Amino acid sequence: MNGTTYTFRFPRAYMSVAEIRIDETPLDNCFVKELSRGIVQLSSVVSTHLDYAVTVTVHGGSLERTFTQIASMTETGPSLAINCSLNCNDKVAVSSKLTLVAWCQSCVPGDDVKYDWHLWENLNGRYERVLMSTESQENDTTCNSQAFNVPSFVLLSGKSYVVTLFVTIANHTKHERKIYRKIQTNTPPTDGVCSVSKDTDAVTLISVNCSNWTDPDDSLQTFVYLYETVIRRNLTHGIDDIVSIVYEGKCFSGLETFVDLGESSIADVPVQAGDPVFGYNVTVRVRIFDIYGDYATFVKNITVFSNEVSSESFDEQFSKYNLSGNDIQTLNFIGAAASSLRQLPYTDATTKEEDVFRGVESIYIDDTDGGPEIINYQQRVLKLIRLVEKIITPGCNNKHGRYNLADIQTIYSTLDALTRYQPYLTLEAVFSTEYWIIH
């Protein structure tokens, strides 16, 4: 990278299984020779059998990033490094798993390699061992593998950690090497607020406005706002929380000012009705993500009653949504309307297998389809399914791949609302929804 410079420091480090101490003062007698951009060679005499904290700082314009790793200077032993394979930014996201991998550059197939990983938290210059869930005692670990995984939310935000690795190779002779890697965790967005309001226009509409969210680590940050509803429902397979993504967008923020690009708020978005078993409760959830994937969460519970939309009112409102060109908003409206349909009791009087085993005198086949009211709702649901199919099916004005993951979740949320009450599903409706899933 043009304009990039590198600064190297080699302070002493003292590391054992029970203790870590790092002298942040650089060695006066340590000099390096640059072989190529970003690659240097020690040109001074360095004592063997000692540990050194090798720190490289990369400067590129106004940006600066620092990486530190301990190296043991020995005359013999394996050549070792710790590589990162997951969650590898300059700051670690605490909401994601961290995966480090030991790289033994001098090992050969057949070597009996043993790995001993430990995680330490920096407490005002004193390092305290962090016990993983697999560890039963302070000096007991099951991390004897080449990869070291730290589950999500084990690390605390805004903290400094050290991961140590002790490697033993037992062959004809026994060689040991120790190495470590510093980790700085990210701090998620903070200090912001969100407000929720609702209105009614055929279906319930919500508006959410968020402001003042900032990143303590970065004065200029781009956030991703994910607006969701969480509805607890009593389904045929049991109670489940159904999450529906309402909208996803980006917004730019600063510590002193907040520049609204229209993504830190949503207005008049249709939402599905709550479940009567749980008091029609709907949880509005906003998650504010930073560039590392960490997030802050805002939640508020509201009540969304199931007020059925008449066919005339639906057709009028659907025409407005459809003409707007916002397919996702139109799908949200269809899902909201479907969630408000009354669920009429339905009993199929057809003779069942268990009735035959009990010895009934005659077999009856119920071909009434539940009566005219049930048939009417079946036709309404099929109509809604056809509208969704028309919106999402690739054609002259749309194509495969035009939906992101949030949009696809909205499509399936609408599908869930349309197929929630099985008596309203005809074979034609089932075949149509099956085509969506497959294609």
The reported pLDDT for the residue numbered 18 is: 55
| pLDDT tens sequence across 298-312 | 999 999 999 999 999
Residue 138's pLDDT is 44
Confidence of residue 90 (pLDDT cuts 50, 70, 90): confident
- The arithmetic mean of pLDDT across residues 117-142, rounded, is 69
Q: Residue range 170-185: average pLDDT?
A: 77
Please give the helix or strand (H or E) that residue 137 lies within, else none: none
Q: Are residues 282 and 169 in the same domain?
A: no
Top-confidence residue, 338 or 166? 338
Question: Do 103 and 165 reside in the same domain of the chain?
Answer: yes
Task: Say whether both 341 and 294 belong to one domain.
Answer: no
Q: If pLDDT is split at 50, 70 and 90, which confidence band does 143 have?
A: low
112 and 197 within one domain: no
Candidates 104, 128, 103, 107; CA nearest to 118 is: 128
Task: Determine how many CB atoms are found less than 10 A away from the CB of residue 290.
Answer: 23
- Tally the domains of the chain: 3
Distance CA 230, CA 207 (A): 16
pLDDT at 126: 81
Q: Is the pLDDT of residue 203 over 80?
A: yes
Please work out, in degrees rounded to the nearest 5, the angle formed at the alpha carbon of residue 354 by the alpha carbons of 353 and 360.
90
From 283, 306, 329, the end of a domain falls on 306
Instruction: Tell me, yes or no, whether 155 and 218 share the same domain.
Output: no
Mean pLDDT for the stretch of residues 86-114? 87
pLDDT of 57 reads 73
73-82, 244-253, 293-302: which has the minimum mean pLDDT? 73-82
**Confidence at 112, pLDDT banded by 50, 70, 90:** confident
409 by DSSP, 3-state: which?
helix
Q: Are 42 and 32 in contact (CB under 8 A)?
A: yes
pLDDT band at 140 (very low <50, low <70, confident <90, very high): very low
Say if residue 165 is exposed, middle or buried (CB neighbours under 10 Å; 0-12, 13-18, 19+): buried
| CATH code of 106's domain | 2.60.40.10
What confidence category does residue 45 fall into, taking pLDDT thresholds of 50, 70 and 90?
A: very low
Q: pLDDT, tens digit, for every residue of 379-422? A: 999 999 999 988 887 655 555 567 788 888 888 899 999 998 88
Q: What is the pLDDT of residue 350?
A: 66
| Amino acid present at 202 | A
Are 7 and 142 in a shared domain? yes
pLDDT at 219: 63
Q: Are residues 17 and 103 in the same domain?
A: yes
pLDDT > 50? residue 426: yes
Query: Which among 183, 249, 182, 258 has a CA at the least distance from the CA of 215?
Result: 258
Average pLDDT over residues 145-169: 90
> Within a 10 A sphere around the Cβ of 42, how many other Cβ atoms?
16
Lowest pLDDT segment from 21-25, 294-298, 332-336, 337-341: 21-25
The C-alpha atoms of residue 311 and residue 173 are separated, in whole angstroms, by 83
Residues 331 and 347 placed together within one structural domain of the fold? yes
Do residues 176 and 243 share a domain?
A: no
Same domain, 120 and 21: yes
**CA–CA distance, 269 with 204 (Å, rounded to integer):** 8
Give yes or no: residues 104 and 140 share one domain: yes
Percent residues over pLDDT 70 in the chain: 68
Region 164-169 average pLDDT: 85
The enclosing domain of 278 has a CATH number of 2.60.40
- Other beta carbons within 10 angstroms of residue 413's beta carbon come to 23
Helix (H, G, I), strand (E, B) or coil at 246: strand
pLDDT at residue 86 is higher than 60: yes
Vertex 206 angle, CA 301 and 216, to 5°: 70
- To which residue do tokens 């749980």 refer? 278
pLDDT of residue 43: 54
The domain of 356 spans: 308-438
Q: Residue 142: its pLDDT value, please?
A: 47
Domain end residue (candidates: 150, 185, 220) = 185
- The SS3 of residue 126 is strand
> What is the CB-side half-sphere exposure of residue 433 using CA atoms within 13 A?
22
Grade residue 335 by pLDDT with cuts at 50, 70 and 90: very high
Q: Work out whether the CA dihedral 437, 323, 307, 305 comes out positive or negative.
A: positive
pLDDT surpassing 50 at residue 261: no
Q: Determine what percent of the chain is predicted with pLDDT higher than 90.
A: 33
Mapped onto helix, strand or coil, the DSSP state of residue 125 is coil
For residues 175 and 219, state if they share a domain.
no
Which of 185, 216, 241 terminates a domain? The answer is 185
Q: Which range among 101-105, 139-143, 175-179 has the greatest average pLDDT?
A: 101-105
What does the alpha-carbon distance between residue 42 and residue 34 come to, in Å, rounded to a whole number?
9
CB-based contact 127:22 (threshold 8 Å): no
Asked if residue 110 lies in contact with residue 81, where contact means CB atoms within 8 angstroms, the answer is no
For the residues 76-90, what does the mean pLDDT come to?
80
